[in-house]
Chain A
Amino acid sequence: MRDFTWKTVLFLAFFMMMTISARAAAPGNERCMNCHGHMDIKGPAGMKIYIDPVKFAATTHAIVGCTSCHDRVSKGHPGDRYNPPRAACGDCHKPVFDEYAKSLHASKAGCTGCHNPHEVRLPLFVSGDDINRKCARCHDTRKTIQSHSTWLPQADLHIDSLPCITCHTGSRDYVIIMSIESRLPGSRNDFKISSYDELAALAQAADVSRVIDLNNDKLISLAELRDFNHQLRGRNMRLWGMMVPETVTHSYQILDNRWDCSFCHASGPKAAQKSFIAFPEKNGGYTRLVVEKGAILDILYGTPDFYMLGTTRSTPLNIIGALIVAAGLSFPVCHGFFRFLTRKNRKENNHEA
Chain B
Amino acid sequence: MKHKEMVYLTPMPVRIWHWLNAFGIVTLCITGLQIRFPDYISVFGAYKAAIRLHNTAGAVVSVSYMLWLMYYLVVAKSLMKLYMPTLDDLKTGIFRQAFFYFLTYFLGKPNPHHSTPDSKFNPMQKATYLVIMFILLPLVIFTGVLLMYIAPLRELLLLLGGIKMLIGTHFLLSCCFTAFLFVHIYLATLGHTPLAHFKPMWNGWEEEEIDDGSEKTR
Contacts and interface: CB of A to CB of B under 8 A. Distances in A.
B150 A157 contact: yes
Interface string A154-189: 101100100000000000000000000000000011
B175 A324 contact: yes
Contacts of B52: 153
A307 interface: yes
Interface in A298-353: 299-300, 303-307, 309-310, 313-314, 317, 320-322, 324-325, 327-329, 331-332, 335-336, 338-339, 341-342, 345-353
Contacts of A188: 154-155
Interface of A: 151, 153-154, 156-157, 160, 188-189, 233, 238, 260-262, 265-268, 299-300, 303-307, 309-310, 313-314, 317, 320-322, 324-325, 327-329, 331-332, 335-336, 338-339, 341-342, 345-353
A313 B32 CA distance: 13
Contact of B35 (A160, A309, A339, A347): A309
Contacts of B133: none
A313 B151 CA distance: 20
Given A261-B48, A265-B38, A304-B161, A342 B168 contact: no
Nearest to B46: A260
B114 interface: no
B101 to A, nearest CB: 7
B112 interface: no
A100 B46 CA distance: 32
B11 to A, nearest CB: 27
Given A265-B47, A300-B168, A329 B179 contact: yes
A160 B176 CA distance: 33
Contacts of B35: 309-310
Q: Is the interface on chain B under 10, 10 to 19, 20 to 34, or 35 or more residues?
A: 35 or more
Interface string B114-154: 00000000000000000000000000000000001111101
Interface stretch (B14-22, B69-77, B86-94, B180-188): B180-188
A261 B178 contact: no
Contact of B186 (A266, A306, A335): A335
Contacts of B161: 300, 304
Nearest to A303: B164
B192 A305 contact: no
Interface in B165-207: 165, 167-168, 171-172, 174-176, 178-183, 185-186, 192-194
B1 to A, nearest CB: 12
A154 B168 contact: no
B157 to A, nearest CB: 8
Contacts of B149: 154
B39 A266 contact: yes
Q: Name the residue in A261, A303, A338 with the highest tally of chain B Cβ atoms < 10 Å from its Cβ.
A: A261
A314 B168 contact: yes
B163 A189 contact: no
Given A160-B151, A189-B154, A304-B161, A327 B179 contact: yes
B2 to A, nearest CB: 8
14 contacts: A189-B152, A262-B38, A266-B38, A304-B163, A305-B163, A309-B36, A317-B171, A322-B175, A329-B182, A332-B186, A341-B106, A345-B108, A346-B108, A352-B193
B interface, over-half SS: helix
Interface of B: 2, 35-39, 46-48, 51-52, 55, 101, 105-110, 148-152, 154-155, 157-158, 161-165, 167-168, 171-172, 174-176, 178-183, 185-186, 192-194
A331 B183 contact: yes
Nearest first, the 4 closest Cβ-Cβ pairs linking A and B are A328-B179, A304-B162, A345-B108, A332-B186
Contacts of A347: 108
B168 A305 contact: no
Contacts of B148: 154
Given A153-B48, A261-B47, A328-B183, A353 B194 contact: yes
A336 B155 CA distance: 48
B150 A154 contact: yes
Contacts of A151: 48
Contacts of B155: 188-189
B47 A310 contact: yes
Nearest to A305: B162
Contacts of B185: 332
Contacts of A317: 168, 171-172
B38 A310 contact: yes
Contact of A261 (B46, B109, B162, B182): B46
A299 B168 contact: yes
